[in-house]
Amino acid sequence: MTSIKLPYGKEHVSLEIQEERLNAVLVSELHHYKPEVGQTELVKNAMDNPIGSEKLCDLAKGKEKIVIIASDHTRPVPSKIIMPLMLEEIRKGNPEADITILIATGCHRETTKNELVQKFGEEIVNNEKIYIHDCDDDSMLVKLGILPSGGELIINKLAHEADLLVAEGFIEPHFFAGYSGGRKSVLPGIASRQTVLANHCSEFIADPKSRTGILEGNPIHKDMMWASRKANLAYIVNVVINAEKEVIYAVAGDMEKAHAKGCEFLSKLCRVKAVPADIAISTNGGYPLDQNIYQAVKGMTAAEVTVKQDGVIIMLAKSNDGHGGDVFYNTFRDEADIKKTLDLFMSRDRNKTEADQWQSQVFIRVLQKARVIYVSDSDDQTVMDFHMIPAKSVEEALKKAEEILGNSKATVTVIPDGVSVMVIE
């Protein structure tokens, strides 16, 4: 038997599998990469040697209003390391700068005070100006033009009015934007709901270039880049993290050039070749990315690439924060025929895209490839409403998968962290 640890919430569970059934364990080399220096020094070195940009302290000189875009509670960005260094660097160049930390919630719920403290620490939360973006608050939004796709670019007023706009973030594989980080701080991070919906339209989600690890020719990425340039995003600090959410690499500087360098590093370590199997087991990398069913779709897309047609995906995601969105949930609860739902999505104009349609569209693609058994803390009815099969342990899920396939020796490919790898066919 082979024992494999799988992240689940803030803990791990163990999968025991016979060696002869195990086709492969697809693991990102990120988890084995050991940097020569510590986390803080990595970020500081990146900021001391910005790519395609002046240092942040020099950019800050003479700037009165400075806005730092920061990720929200759904992203494991090590802000306790990054943010103090950015604040220090800004004040080194301009001690009197009026600094606002703008939380990029996208279309997510508001970040709580406790989540801010967990993210930044009490000192920053108690002493810095922090504003949480609300994609539906028209009083705090401003129109900047028309995206290449035809959607309207509307972003947070604080970012637009800043004399200097900068951002922190992290780079990981992204299931339709190619990679996270960089330009995503602006779109979807601080954009209006209308803008996000237009960018995440069914046509773009269906595009074969809108996939993990692809930037060239990706229409979603093209819109995001245009939006960030229009917003004058001048400088970023982005990191790559391992399974322990520790910084192993950092870049700083120009929004496009620094991000490209980070993506290049990441790609070398986390591209893995698909190994087809009857059963594919994946996770969302544990907390904080496995807090709801909505986010768990990302980890499923890694399994989607390596599972055989009409096979079974076993997805582990604690989902202690529920399903992640009423519209997302109702889409699957209220219609038994997922093909009808997909046809409806594809018939919609990009400017009439509805909330969470993109996630539903990707999820339908997964469900059309394989049955999904969902291991979580969610109640069984909620899981079934999503057209999935509930299970409370990986052992129970594996048994159910064997029953579905009618094969107690069905082959298995395991992806311990489905959001840290780029599985390539």
pLDDT attached to residue 59 = 98
Q: Where are the domains of the chain?
A: 2-26+275-423, 32-269
Q: Please report which confidence band the pLDDT of residue 356 belongs to, taking 50, 70 and 90 as the band edges.
A: confident
Active site residue 108: yes
Q: Is 365 exposed, middle or buried (0-12, 13-18, 19+ CB in 10 A)?
A: middle
| Interval 28-80: pLDDT, tens | 888 789 999 999 999 999 999 999 999 999 999 999 999 999 999 988 899 99
pLDDT attached to residue 154 = 98
Q: Which of 68-77, 306-315, 338-347, 365-374 shows the lowest mean pLDDT across its residues?
A: 68-77
Q: Which of 73, 108, 221, 323 is catalytic?
A: 108
pLDDT attached to residue 32 = 86
Q: Please report which confidence band the pLDDT of residue 420 belongs to, taking 50, 70 and 90 as the band edges.
A: confident
Active site residue 73: no
Average the pLDDT over 397-423 and give the result: 96
Backbone angles phi, psi at 178, to 5 degrees: 90, -65
Average pLDDT across the chain, whole number: 96
Average the pLDDT over 206-232 and give the result: 96
Average the pLDDT over 217-242 and give the result: 97
Q: Measure the CA–CA gap between 332 and 162, rounded to whole angstroms.
A: 41
Helix axes 357-369, 338-347, angle to 10 degrees: 140
Architecture, CATH, for domain 32-269: 3-Layer(aba) Sandwich (3.40)
Q: Which of 99, 105, 106 is nearest to 119 (CA)?
A: 105
| Interval 234-259: pLDDT, tens | 999 999 998 788 999 999 999 999 99
In this model, does residue 5 exceed pLDDT 90?
A: yes
Same fold across 2-26+275-423 and 32-269: no
Q: Which of 77-86, 172-181, 376-385 shows the lowest mean pLDDT across its residues?
A: 172-181
- CB neighbours of 48 closer than 8 A, spacing ≥ 6? 55
Which CATH number is 2-26+275-423 given? 3.90.226.30
Q: Please report which confidence band the pLDDT of residue 149 belongs to, taking 50, 70 and 90 as the band edges.
A: confident
Which H or E run includes 142? strand 141-146
pLDDT attached to residue 197 = 92
Q: Which of 73, 133, 174, 200 is catalytic?
A: 174
| Interval 155-185: pLDDT, tens | 999 999 999 999 999 998 898 999 999 999 9
pLDDT attached to residue 74 = 80
Q: Measure the CA–CA gap between 306 and 273, rounded to whole angstroms.
A: 9
pLDDT attached to residue 341 = 97
